[in-house]
Amino acid sequence: MRIELDQGVLTLTNDDPPINRMRLDYIDEIERVLGEVTHDEQVRALVFTADGDDNFSVGMDLKQLMSDEGRARGFEAVLDQRRRVLRAIEELGKPSVATLFGYCLGGGLELPLACTFRLAASEGAKIGLPETDLGTVPAWGGSVRLTRCVGAPRALDMMLRGRLIDGDEALRIGLVTEVHPMEELKARAQELARELARGPRLAMAGIMDTVLATVDGSLDEGLDAERDAVRRCQGTADQIEGGMAFLEKRDPVFE
C-alpha cells in the first residue's frame, strides 16, 4: 500500500493492480496507519483509493485466506480484524473519501461503506455484495451498512440477487454522493478531502460522532452525543474564529 500526505489529506492506495485484492497485509497496514493518525494533527482527512484505472477492489483474497498463512491467522481472527478496522474508520473523527471504480465487490464495497463519502466513476463501475454467488454472506459488516445506507428493499435486491450496479444507479439510490468521469474521479476525491481538511476539526468530529450515535442508537443517544459535541466546541479557537468571521462577513480560517 502506498501512503501519501499532502495538504492535510492522507491518501491510502491499494497497489495490487489490476484487481487490487484486499490482502492480509493491506488490512494490517490500514490498521497500523489508523492507530498512528488518530491524534496526528497533520492528518485532517483520508482518501481510500487504488492503483490504476481498472478496479477499486475485488475484495478479499480468498486464495490467501485458504493458504497456510490465512489458516495460521484463523478465520475468526481475520473477520474480527476487518470488523475492528472498518469500525475504526467510522469512529476516527476525521472524514474519509473512497473512490469506487471498476469492480467494487465484497470487501471492495464494505470498506467504502465505512467511509464518510463515496464517489463513483460514471462509466465502468460494477458495485455490489455478490457473496450469495459463493454461498455465503457479506462478512465485514456490509449487509448492515448497505441496509443503513440505501434501505432494506434496495439492499436486499442487491445482496439476494448478487446484483451489481453502476455509478449512476449508486447515485440514484444514495450509495454514493457524486459521480464523475474516471479521468476526473481521483482528482475530485482529493479536492473534496482538501475541502474537508480545511474545516474545524472538533466541530466536524462532533457532527460525525452525533450522526454515528444516531444511526447506532436511540434518538436520546443521538441527542446526547450532539450535546457533548457542542460542549467540546464551546470556547475553542475555531468556534471563536467562526463567530468572528460571520460578524465580519468573511471566510473563516480554522486552525
Per the CB < 8 A criterion, the answer to whether 188 and 180 are in contact is yes
Single pTM value for the model: 0.91
Name, in order, each residue with C-beta under 8 angstroms of 249's C-beta and a sequence gap of 6 or more. Answer: none
- Is 131 an annotated catalytic residue? yes
3-state SS, 78-92, equals HHHHHHHHHHHHHHC
> What gap in Å lies between CA 250 and CA 39, rounded to an integer?
30
Task: Say what the pLDDT of residue 222 is.
Answer: 81
Reading phi first (left if > 0) and then psi (alpha if -120 to 50, else beta), residue 135 is in left
- Is 123 an annotated catalytic residue? no
Please write the tens of the pLDDT for every residue from 180-203. 999 999 999 999 999 999 999 999
Q: Read off the amino acid at residue 249.
A: K
**Out of 29, 36, 76, 131, which one is annotated catalytic?**
131
Task: Say what the pLDDT of residue 225 is.
Answer: 85
Q: Read off the amino acid at residue 250.
A: R
pLDDT reading at 101 higher than 90? yes
**Out of 31, 110, 241, 255, which one is annotated catalytic?**
110
pLDDT reading at 132 higher than 90? yes
End-to-end CA distance of the chain: 30
Locate the domains of the chain by residue range.
Answer: 2-197, 201-247
Residue 96's CB is within 10 A of a number of other CB atoms, namely 23
Task: Say what the pLDDT of residue 134 is.
Answer: 87
Looking at residue 39, what DSSP letter applies?
Answer: T
Task: Say what the pLDDT of residue 75 is.
Answer: 86
Q: What angle do CA 121, 158, 140 make, to 5 degrees?
A: 85
pLDDT reading at 171 higher than 90? yes
**The dihedral sign for the CA sequence 193, 200, 214, 90:** positive
Give the three cell numbers for residue 207: 457532527
- Please name the CATH architecture into which domain 2-197 falls: Alpha-Beta Complex (3.90)
Q: What angle do CA 110, 10, 127 make, to 5 degrees?
A: 25
Task: Say what the pLDDT of residue 246 is.
Answer: 85
